[in-house]
Amino acid sequence: MISADQPRAPHSRERLQRRPAQRRLSQGRPNQRLRLLALALPALLLVAGCTATDSDTDASTPTPTPTGSISSSLTISAPYLPLPTGVGVDYQLGGGYTPADGVEIVARDSTDSAAEGLYSICYINAFQTQPQEADLWLTERADLLLRDDNGDPVIDPGWPDEMILDISTTKNRITIASIFGETILGCASDGFKAVEFDNLDTWTRTDGSLTEQNSVEMAMALVDLTHSAGLAAGQKNSAELGERGRDEVGFDFAVTEECAQFNECDVFRDVYKDAVIDIEYTDALDRPFDEICADPATPDMTVLRDRDLVTPDSDEYVFEHC
């Protein structure tokens, strides 16, 4: 448990861009929701060939019969398209707009629409709450929030309007997966081809209350749900995962922020080869963008954006790509 008075470790990087609102789907599609939840259970309870322990669940949590591996316990409902490589990318989390010529991949928030005719990636903040949904989590989902020693929700020190989700138990991970399963279904029905999951590294900012393994197990369930919905799944940042993101979790590609600025590009390229998207921000460049693009370590699919990811009608708008 985190002490309320204990100073928390700072972010490994400064993440200042604005996060858009998270989609809240209607209460429709009950069969799909139940199907996704059923698919999530094996991934959550069968980690490394083991079932959950009594301390990690309770009698109310159904336990599926082990099948020997996570992947064999799931049925992929539709093939998903791999991320195109070597093409132009735009990162539009601050609001969708008509992409520039040469752009073939567009990332947008889950509340936005997919870019027609392009490979669209759906952004989901999956390990922390969205600011616009604080009341919802504090009332209807209060038991899913990580708490400090005083019983108060733990706040991400770098995002003071975001609370950290408690993914420390199998029961919580199942419930959280079912919540985001609806968002994933919405992304699929809206025409997105892939999902990127933000804040995989939240565990590093909890002073040990959450672990990397908690994050890996949560991500496994989310990726299995994403694949079952016919979408590819992207790892967002979290260089510390190394090959685990690909080999254990099952991510298909990576989206990084400022890997050139933080000298992390090789970490992602070693794992995902050409299937890496990098976003650099104008307020943090330590060299001209054309030099970043010319650097052999920089992913081919690198884009330069303004920190707030505004739309072209703003004076602050910046967009370039390698």
- Let me know: does 260 contact 295? Beta carbons within 8 Å: yes
Question: Which phi and psi angles does 60 have, rounded to 5°?
Answer: -80, -10
pTM of the complete model: 0.81
Portion of the chain with pLDDT greater than 90, in percent: 73
Mean pLDDT within 219-241: 96
According to CATH, the topology of domain 86-127+165-321 is TIM Barrel (3.20.20)
Mean pLDDT within 224-245: 96
Q: Nearest-CA neighbor of 305 among 18, 102, 13?
A: 18
E strand or H helix that includes residue 185: helix 170-189
pLDDT at residue 219 greater than cutoff 90: yes
Structural domain spans, the chain:
86-127+165-321
Query: What does the alpha-carbon distance between residue 279 and residue 303 come to, in Å, rounded to a whole number?
Result: 5
Tell me the pLDDT tens digit for each residue of 271-308.
999 999 999 999 999 999 999 999 999 999 999 999 99
Tell me whether strands 155-156 and 159-163 are parallel, antiparallel or unpaired: antiparallel
The amino acid that residue 87 corresponds to is V
Query: What does the alpha-carbon distance between residue 226 and residue 211 come to, in Å, rounded to a whole number?
Result: 23
The amino acid that residue 78 corresponds to is A
pLDDT grade for 10, boundaries at 50, 70 and 90:
very low
C-alpha dihedral over 53, 57, 58, 61, to 10 degrees? -110
- Given this model, what pLDDT does residue 37 score? 54
Identify the residue whose tokens are 């052999």: 296
Tell me the pLDDT tens digit for each residue of 95-123.
999 999 999 999 999 999 999 999 999 99
For the beta carbon of residue 124, count every other beta carbon within 10 angstroms: 23
CA distances to 150, 205, 213 from 158, in Å: 21, 9, 22
Q: Rg of the chain over CA atoms, in angstroms?
A: 19
Average pLDDT of the chain? 83
Tell me the pLDDT tens digit for each residue of 191-205.
999 999 999 999 999
- Given this model, what pLDDT does residue 272 score? 98
